[in-house]
Amino acid sequence: MKQILIISNRLPVNVTINEGEIETVPSVGGLATGMSSIYKYYSAKWIGWPGLNESDSKIRTKIGKALKKHEYIPVFMQEELFEDFYYGFSNKTIWPLYHYFTQYVEYKKHTWEAYKKVNAFYADQVIENAEEGAYVWVHDYHLQLLPKMLREKRPDLIIGFFLHIPFPSYEVFRILPWRDEIIEGLLGADLIGFHTYDYERHFLSAVRRLRGYDIDFNQVNLDDRFVKVDAFPMGIDYEKFANTAMKHQQMAVKDRSKIQQEIDKHYLMAPDQKLVLSIDRLDYSKGIANRLEAFDYFLDKYPEFKEKVTLVMVATPSRTAVAQYQQMKSEVDELVGHINGKYASINWTPIWYFYRSFPFDTLIDLYTSCDIGLLTPIRDGMNLVAKEFVASKVDQKGVLILSEMAGAAKEMGEALIINPNNYEEIADALNEAMIMPEEEHKEKMSSMQNRLQRYSVEKWARDFVEGMENTISLKEKHYSKNINTAIEKDILSKYKNANKRLLFLDYDGTLVGFQKRPEMAKPDKELLKLLDSLAEDPKNELVIISGRDRETLEKWFKGKPYTLITDHGVWRKEPKEDWQMIETLHADWKEQLRPALEFYVDRTPGSILEEKSFSLAWHYRKVDPELGNMRAIELKDEFMSLIANHNLDILEGNKVIEIKNSGVNKGRAAVAKIGNNKYDFTVAIGDDWTDEYIFEEIPDDTITIKVGIVKTAARFNVESQKDVRPLLKKLMESGG
């Protein structure tokens, strides 16, 4: 069976030490349930923190042995390091930032260093336990640096990453001082998953704006590979909740839980009263204080429901050592006391408040007994409680009120969707839920239940792993043209045995990397030496074929023993000869179009206009990526009508749009250069769309090479511009 390693901050197990003996109790629900389905099809191991920081090496060894029977591998760390990593950077920097609570974010270098160190600990454990080509599924915000660490040390691994919390908009994410490191860390994965398309879109925007990588739909194109990004809304173990709820409803009265018996008594005393359920961790992202304020407002606005509705509020303790959580606990306590003091009567308490966690069976009793679910997080990655509440309504009676800021709202449109900051809207939704006809209850519940049943947590897990598997076939498809050792050996052999060779080399993006300004990409000494060596071989004809203007290439390569073709094929200069115009062109059209292009420069900060002999080029490499792409589309649309009667073409290159005379391209120029000459070996190397003309028009036996892992007419690919010079050097050395 194929191996899969599941990596999370915390192992799905509770470990206790009693008189030196290790006891382990596996967790249930949530991620643990989803991963259990993966164990059926793969040889799975789970790596994570065991829940305690034991310094005694002997105890650590005993814990490791106890966990091994569950296929769990513990990651231990010192207490101080754990504090800085977990309570520090993870939950005082990433958590508030990703949930838009920027006022709580701490920017402390020592916690960032701890975060890096712990991610490295996890990487060591993965590398130690991963088989060749294993799948590695990394979970959540604690381990965002891990994918890159694994990629650098074990490129054979198939790496997936899933973020269980929101990914914020670019404007929020850019606040983080270590934003580039986080992005690059995540891009070490082959597949990155989010709960919703919104989070996916935010991530891609950050990648484009901060790192400048090209995005093709949901694919990030890196220099040497690509990363798929997609949305996978996490589900729940639907059958477990539905079946347990059905079982509880069929129980004899004497066998019911204590809390269920109390609820039954309540309904006997007040059969017309409705219970509104609120269950959350006590976290500022959950909007608990807002919810209480809105409930207060509801009782004021709709006084007819006094003594007819009770809010059952369960707040599970969370991160009690963090100051913001302590402050929030006090605020919630005061609000509950205020509302109960304001409205309570001898026979009615408006809010039943429980500051503790409940076991699974008790939660089911609350889900089945309460009439309305009120879940109003200010920001939430998914909110599985909403799904659990719906799944437990086996009689299909009940109404869900859900915040539009929860990821689950994207799937549960039949719920009453509200803005968690709008008390009026929450109050009106409570009123609507109170008076909603039973038939409407059932219709809405049925639709949501059918959807949740189809897309369970097991289906979510399988879909993600299948997505990881699909990246393998996509890689094989994209890399099938890559120049491997065998292909390279064949090319070198053909080169060595040839007596007459022709080499077409593009310049920008092929021989040199792209620069912020075109004039900064001048050739370095190493490149000039390499090109001179190739050109000095009497068997070789070397051609630099570029979209650059002739003045620039003349300045850079003056007196060099090779052919220069410029302006996408307008001008050609043979060694020791004067420039010749390959195509007869005119340039009077530039005066008419230059003002329109200058207008785009003026309103697109960072863009520049480059004027060549027979073309105008609008460069937008330094422009905000999203603005640049939008302006480029706008410019192309506008200029299509402007150039219609001028025999001109729009040429789109890498972050540049060029207006030039129609019918002129590198392909025609290359064919003209070949003419009636016979060559034993011809190679053409280029990186962008303009080079496709060469690949398509020159003879079929030409060795055509595309720089970059993209769709192309070329026969072969190299991964990046950095691979071109080594290949040319090998050709030179094999020529004899």
Average pLDDT on 49-53 reads 88
What is the DSSP-derived secondary structure letter of residue 308? Answer: T
Please choose, from the candidates 306, 273, 313, 309, the residue with its C-alpha nearest in 3D space to the C-alpha of residue 290. Answer: 313
| 653 has pLDDT over 90 | no
**Residue 624: pLDDT above 90?**
no
Whether 592 has a pLDDT exceeding 90, the answer reads: no
CA torsion 459-462-463-469 (nearest 10°) is -170
* In contact, 426 and 420? CB cutoff 8 Å: yes
Tell me the average pLDDT across 686-690.
87
Q: Which DSSP string do the residues of 634-682 spell out, in sequence order?
A: HHHHHHHHHTTTTTEEEEEETTEEEEEETT--HHHHHHHHHTT---SEE
Please state, rounded to an integer, the average pLDDT across all residues of the chain: 91
- Under 8 Å between Cβ of 377 and 349: no
Q: How confident is the model at residue 92 (pLDDT cuts 50, 70, 90)?
A: very high
Task: Average the pLDDT over 235-259 and give the result.
Answer: 86
Contacts of 496 (CB under 8 A, 6+ apart): 734, 735, 736
For the entire predicted model, the pTM comes to 0.82
Q: Which residue has better confidence, 372 or 251?
A: 372
More confident residue, 459 or 479: 459
> pLDDT tens digits, residue range 300-335?
999 999 999 999 999 998 877 777 888 889 999 999
736, pLDDT greater than 60? no
Contact 728, 534 (CB under 8 A): yes
Q: Sorting pLDDT into bands at 50, 70 and 90, what band is 100?
A: very high
Instruction: Tell me the mean pLDDT in the region 521-532.
Output: 94
Kindly report, residue by residue over 566-589, the tens digit of the pLDDT: 988 889 999 989 999 887 777 888
- Mean pLDDT check: name the lowest of 286-290, 449-453, 464-468, 608-612: 608-612
Q: What is the pLDDT of residue 251?
A: 81
Cα(284)–Cα(342) distance, integer angstroms:
25
The answer to whether 52 and 100 have CB atoms below 8 angstroms apart is: no
The mean per-residue pLDDT over the stretch 135-142 comes to 97
Q: Taking 70 as the threshold, does the pLDDT of residue 29 lie above it?
A: no
426 versus 637: which is more confidently predicted? 426
Q: DSSP label at 208?
A: I
The mean pLDDT of 429-448, rounded to a whole number, is 95
Mean pLDDT of 35-48: 88
Q: Considering only residues 606 and 141, tell me which one the structure prediction assigns the higher pLDDT.
A: 141
pLDDT of 73-82, one tens digit each?
999 999 999 9
Contact partners, residue 258, CB within 8 Å, separation at least 6 = none
Which residues, 6+ apart, have CB-to-CB distance to 442 below 8 Å? 396, 397
pLDDT digits (tens, 9 = 90+) for 533-579: 999 999 999 999 998 889 999 999 999 999 999 988 889 999 989 99
Tell me the helix, strand and coil percentages in the chain, rounded to 5: 45, 20, 35
pLDDT one-digit tens code per residue, 193-208 = 999 999 999 999 999 8
CA-based torsion, 472, 478, 482, 486: positive or negative: positive
Percent of the chain with pLDDT over 90: 67
Q: pLDDT category, 393, cuts 50, 70, 90?
A: very high
Residues 365 and 410: beta-carbon distance below 8 Å: no
131-135, 388-392, 406-410, 628-632: segment of lowest average pLDDT: 628-632
* Residues facing 545 on adjacent strands: 565
**Domains of the chain with CATH codes:** 3-231 (3.40.50.2000), 239-445 (3.40.50.2000), 485-583+664-734 (3.40.50.1000), 590-661 (3.30.70.1020)
190 is catalytic: no
Catalytic residue among 371, 506, 549, 723: 506
More confident residue, 115 or 735: 115
Measured CA to CA in angstroms, residue 524 lies from 414, 511, 512, 528 at distances of: 63, 10, 9, 6
Collapsing DSSP states into helix, strand and coil, what is residue 270? coil
Phi first, then psi, for residue 103 (nearest 5°) are: -70, -20
Residue linked to tokens 């959580």:
325
- Residue 121: what pLDDT? 95
Q: In what order do the strands lie in the sheet with 716-718?
A: 579-581, 571-573, 563-566, 540-545, 501-505, 681-686, 703-707, 716-718
